[in-house]
């Protein structure tokens, strides 16, 4: 039973309704209208439609979905694959889980529309191993689709529209959410991102042309096709149309997911979550999952879309908003964050492997009251040695939060070093 009051919009409109996760319930509420419309279209026109919709990937990078689809080679000399990235592991993000639990058919319909558009014959849904319930729900939904002829051969009676879906359970590593790390893991190898080029559209899973999209990205697609461009473009901002499921966590009264148009001001989203807990003052907000640089209370006016957030030196990421009140020790935040990235670095690239470890040791030392001014200089310098220099964006993800924390909360670090102890009450465990 969902007890949270949801700010409903198209994605989550029926999430409180248990029937919606079943195919019949989904169809009764407009499900698969998008796919029916899609198969009447030429695949190329469909790609063009998604491109014109301006739909941006909801997995963190915000890349144009239609453009990504257009990278897939035309022609049928090699089978083409879709991969649905359901390895949701960015700390502060829990939206894909809800989609898979409450509206798995949205994602699956989006996959089928995309499959028709790019001519993909198979989709692997890579779900993080800890997501037991979402995995069960998706498996159940896939089974229903096979039973009802939405999967398999000649889907919707369309000759040449064959598609299979394989649900794959991950084995637990943050880096398997990186698209090429995911592909390696899917192939049964150690989850380590691949060097690029070649890109997945040329050489993806098992060497075949592959497009990797996030769960939520797929979930938006049926609505765009069913309700049309004008409808979709009227929601959100000009450059970032549509809604997203903002996940609000941390020190707020009512943490949870809130589906709101992109471009909704940050302060308004936090208000939906009941505001800062216990009437305390806000200290900082991470806007899009742990790897995005932190914002300050004066940034509450920022509209939550990539084009506005990048002006403030941060990014929308996954839309996972983490709220920290005045009692939060930002050095402790740095220590916890850097511990996570140290533990999760795949260890291939020198800067990431060694840099994440070093930064963590320094942050822990400062938090424990053994820091020195030289440590601050190192923390200023090290992220710059890592950022933008590695195979994947993990090193950036590890460097940016530290840079953000230092930029905005240098005083916290200096206070630790001056006092040789943490001046804050223990707000959470290390």
Partner 1 sequence: MPTLTIDGTEYEVAEGRMILQAIDDLGLLMSGVDIPHYCWHPKLSIDGSCRMCQVEVEGMPKLQIACNTLVTDGMVVRTDVERVKKAQRGVMELLLINHPLDCPICDQAGECTLQDYAFDYGMPGARTEEPRRPAKKAMDLGPTIVFDQERCILCRRCVRFCREIPKTGELGVFARGDHSLLELFPGTELDNPYSMNVADICPVGALTTKDFRFKIRVWFLDDVESICNQCSNGCNIYASRSNNRIYRYLPRRNDSVNDTWICDHGRLSYQLIMENRLTEPRVSRRGTSYADAVRAAGDAVRAARESGGSIVGVASPFVGNEDLFVLKQLLEAVGAPAATFAVPRGESDELLVKTEKAPNASGARALGFEESDASPGAVAVALVLGHTLAEECLKGVETLILLDTENCSLAERADIVLPARSFAEKEGSFTNHAKRVQRFRPILEPTFEALSEGEILQRIGAAAGLTGWTASYDVHEVSKRLSETVAGFDGINLDSLDDQGCELA
Specify the residue for token string 């369309």: 158
The per-residue DSSP string of 104-162 comes to HHHHHHHHHHHHHHHTEEEEEEEE-TT-HHHHHHHHHHHHHHHHTTSSBSSGGG-TT--
The one-character DSSP state at 303 is: B
Question: How many positions of this chain bind partner 1 (CB under 8 A)?
Answer: 31
Each residue 248-277 as x (binds partner 1 by CB under 8 A) or -, in order, gives ------------------------------
Using an 8 Å Cβ cutoff, are 114 and 211 in contact? yes
Residue 72 contacts partner 1 per CB under 8 A:
no
Q: Write the burial class of residue 159 (CB in 10 Å: 0-12 exposed, 13-18 middle, 19+ buried).
A: exposed
Of the pair 267, 347, the CB lying nearest partner 1 is at 347
Residue 356 contacts partner 1 per CB under 8 A:
yes
Instruction: Name the one range near partner 1 by CB under 8 A: 116-124, 164-172, 228-236, 389-397.
Output: 389-397
Of the pair 133, 374, the CB lying nearest partner 1 is at 374
Of the pair 209, 383, the CB lying nearest partner 1 is at 383
Candidates 64, 327, 389, 427; binder of partner 1 (CB under 8 A) is: 389
Using an 8 Å Cβ cutoff, are 126 and 87 in contact? yes
Report residue 227: phi and psi, to 5°: -100, -15
List alpha helices for 345-393, DSSP H.
350-367, 373-386
As measured in angstroms, the least distance from the Cβ of 256 to partner 1 is 32
Supply 384's token pair: 């710059």
Of the pair 267, 357, the CB lying nearest partner 1 is at 357
Of the pair 210, 390, the CB lying nearest partner 1 is at 390
Of the pair 141, 173, the CB lying nearest partner 1 is at 173
415/369 Cα distance (integer angstroms): 10
Of the pair 328, 345, the CB lying nearest partner 1 is at 345
Each residue 357-386 as x (binds partner 1 by CB under 8 A) or -, in order, gives xx--x------------x---x------xx
Residue 279 contacts partner 1 per CB under 8 A:
no
Of the CA atoms within 13 Å of residue 244, those in its CB half-sphere come to: 34
Residue 406 contacts partner 1 per CB under 8 A:
no
As measured in angstroms, the least distance from the Cβ of 31 to partner 1 is 40
Residue 197 contacts partner 1 per CB under 8 A:
yes
* Contacts to partner 1 from residues 164-193, by CB under 8 A: 173, 175, 190
Report residue 265: phi and psi, to 5°: -60, 145
As measured in angstroms, the least distance from the Cβ of 190 to partner 1 is 8
Of the pair 205, 386, the CB lying nearest partner 1 is at 386
Specify the residue for token string 């450059």: 239
Of the pair 19, 171, the CB lying nearest partner 1 is at 171
As measured in angstroms, the least distance from the Cβ of 416 to partner 1 is 17
359/348 Cα distance (integer angstroms): 17
For the chain, how many residues are written?
A: 430
Dihedral-angle region of residue 75 (phi above 0 means left; psi in -120 to 50 means alpha; beta otherwise): left
* Contacts to partner 1 from residues 295-354, by CB under 8 A: 342-354
Specify the residue for token string 């465990």: 429
259/95 Cα distance (integer angstroms): 10
As measured in angstroms, the least distance from the Cβ of 396 to partner 1 is 11
As measured in angstroms, the least distance from the Cβ of 287 to partner 1 is 24
Supply 231's token pair: 């409808």
Strand pairing report for 80-86 and 164-169 = unpaired
As measured in angstroms, the least distance from the Cβ of 140 to partner 1 is 33
Binding-site ranges for partner 1 (CB under 8 A): 173, 175, 190, 195, 197, 342-358, 361, 374, 378, 385-386, 388-391
């Amino acid at each position: 039973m969902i007890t949270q009051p949801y700010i409903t919009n198209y994605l989550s409109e029926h999430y409180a309704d248990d029937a919606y996760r079943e195919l019949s319930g989904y169809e009764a509420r407009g499900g698969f209208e998008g796919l029916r419309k899609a198969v009447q279209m030429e695949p190329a026109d469909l790609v063009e439609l998604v491109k014109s919709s301006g739909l941006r990937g909801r997995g963190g990078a915000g890349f144009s979905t239609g453009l990504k689809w257009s990278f897939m080679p035309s022609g049928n000399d090699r089978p083409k694959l879709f991969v649905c990235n359901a390895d949701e592991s960015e700390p502060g993000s829990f939206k894909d889980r809800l989609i898979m639990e409450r509206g798995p058919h949205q994602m699956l319909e989006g996959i089928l529309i995309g499959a028709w558009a790019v001519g993909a014959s198979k989709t692997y849904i890579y779900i993080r191993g800890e997501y037991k319930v979402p995995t069960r729900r998706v498996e159940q939904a896939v089974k229903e689709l096979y039973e009802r002829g939405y999967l398999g051969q000649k889907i919707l009676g369309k000759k040449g529209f064959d598609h299979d879906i394989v649900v794959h359970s991950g084995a637990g590593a943050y880096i398997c959410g990186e698209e090429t790390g995911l592909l390696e893991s899917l192939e049964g190898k150690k989850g380590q991102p691949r060097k690029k080029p070649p890109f997945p559209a040329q050489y993806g899973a098992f060497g075949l042309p592959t497009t990797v999209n996030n769960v939520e990205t797929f979930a938006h697609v049926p609505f765009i096709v069913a309700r049309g461009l004008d409808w979709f473009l009227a929601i959100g901002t000009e450059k970032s149309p549509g809604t997203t499921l903002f996940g609000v966590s941390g020190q707020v009264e009512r943490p949870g997911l809130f589906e709101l148009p992109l471009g909704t001001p940050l302060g308004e989203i936090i208000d939906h979550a009941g505001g800062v807990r216990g009437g305390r003052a806000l200290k900082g907000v991470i806007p899009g999952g742990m790897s995005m640089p932190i914002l300050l209370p004066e940034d509450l006016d920022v509209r939550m879309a990539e084009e506005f957030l990048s002006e403030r030196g941060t990014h929308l990421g996954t839309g996972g908003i983490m709220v920290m009140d005045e009692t939060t020790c930002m050095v402790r935040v740095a220590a916890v964050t850097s511990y996570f990235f140290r533990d999760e670095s795949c260890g291939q690239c020198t800067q990431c492997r060694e840099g994440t470890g070093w930064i963590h040791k320094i942050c822990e030392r400062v938090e424990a009251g053994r820091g020195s001014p030289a440590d601050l200089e190192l923390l200023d310098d090290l992220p710059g040695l890592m950022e933008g220099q590695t195979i994947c964006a993990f090193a950036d993800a590890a460097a940016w939060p530290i840079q953000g924390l230092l930029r905005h909360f240098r005083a916290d670090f200096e206070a630790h070093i001056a006092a040789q102890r943490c001046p804050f009450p223990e707000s959470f465990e290390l």
